[in-house]
Amino acid sequence: MNKNSKIYVAGHRGLVGSAIIKNLVSKGYTNIITRTHKELDLINQKAVEEFFEKEKPEYVILAAAKVGGIVANNTYRADFIYENLQIQNNVIHQSYVHKVKKLLFLGSTCIYPKNAPQPMSEDSLLISPLEYTNEPYAIAKIAGIKMCESYNIQYGTNFISVMPTNLYGPNDNFDLETSHVLPALIRKIHLGKCLEENNWEAIKEDLNKNPIEGINGSNSENQILEKLNSYGIEVVVSSELQVEKENTTNNRLPTTHNKQSKIAIEIWGSGNPRREFLYSEDMADACVFIMENRNFQDIVNQQVENCKTTQKELPTTHHTLHTEVRNTHINIGTGIDISIKELAELIKNIIGFKGELYFNTEKPDGTMKKLTDVSKLNSLGWKYKMDLESGIKEMYKWYLQ
């Protein structure tokens, strides 16, 4: 890419897209085009076609997607598969039609099977069933990978797929119903700290910026406490806390807040699942690095060389129709994981919350371990920079501001 190349970033307001825009600007790219959802509905095939015809972008970074945590994925299954498939189909196809020089498609490591060998290499794709709770989203992203591969094979396009691990950072989603685990924990523990300090001004400010099911700072304290309680930010009489932690029932805890009370934060599951987290700005740097330095054919050639080294029979180039080209996507991550319990304790210490954390084992854990094999990415010459503790501190600072 040249510094004045016309680059379309789809999904520029989200966690991923905003970080990529920031990285591109920092590296001197000056011709970046964006559209808000109101300006361009990527689900609308005709609208996407008209946008590409008018703007004719040279490069496309497809970061737009419907995303969410375990609750949202499992609740809105039809929305997740339909909307993501539509966005991908429209943008990838129009990129082919309008001869885009290179496209980067962003997915997620949730594409890998529930019981994939750890760490999960790119070759783990489709070897066994997916985790049920996010199956619709994962299938949509797998379809995006295969669509990119298929267009490359049939039409010689240069479409590359990258699969980032769990991301966090500025512009993340802090909605307690739809957010991922890390931003949800930050917000819940922040609100818990405000409660234990009786800082109602901060609580109301938080709710005014991001209401919870219509509850904002104008509601009464009792209404706010009741809503926070329903999301596991709970005022607990001290003598009852240990009983509640041991029983882990769904009974509503007291909403009265007095000197004999403690604040308890409910966390879904056992706390034992292990997850890998990558700071969004590191992810963006990896994406721009790949756009600048790698083409689809490079990835295929690397596979061929690896197969020769290991004496496997696998793909040659996309020009040879009888060979198999698959798993050309690239994992983006750190290769380091942490348990949800350890993560919660880390966030608790960073925020300065003195209350209790308890784990509701009646709620699902999801996949027990999800660690990516990032050897392919590292071999290209890229490695992450931000460690988890520093990243959470930066994210919390952003959230407070």
User: Angle at the Cα of 31 (from 28 to 36), degrees rounded to 5?
Assistant: 115
With b for 16 or more beta-carbon neighbours within 10 A and e for fewer, the 55-86 pattern comes to: eebbbbbbbbbbbbbbbbbbebbeebbebbbb
Contact 186, 351 (CB under 8 A): yes
Helix (H) or strand (E) holding 288: helix 280-293
H/E stretch holding 357: strand 356-360
Tokens for 380, please give them.
Answer: 């290209």
Residues serving a catalytic function are: 137
Q: How many CB atoms lie within 10 A of CB 359?
A: 20
Neighbours of 235 (CB within 10 A): 21
What are the percentages of helix, strand and coil residues in the chain, rounded to 5? 45, 15, 40
> Which residues are CB-neighbours of 206 under 8 A, at least 6 positions away?
187, 190, 191, 194, 217
d(CA 358, CA 224): 21
Amino acid in position 101: K
Q: Are 182 and 344 in contact (CB under 8 A)?
A: no
Distance CA 297, CA 51 (A): 28
- What contacts 123, CB < 8 A, 6 or more positions away? 327
Report d(CA 146, CA 302) in Å as an integer: 19
Give the Cα separation of 117 and 291 in Å (integer).
29
Nearest Cα residue to 269 out of 166, 346, 363, 142: 363
**Closest C-alpha to 181, from 267, 75, 279, 256:** 267
**Pair 280, 173: CB distance under 8 Å:** no
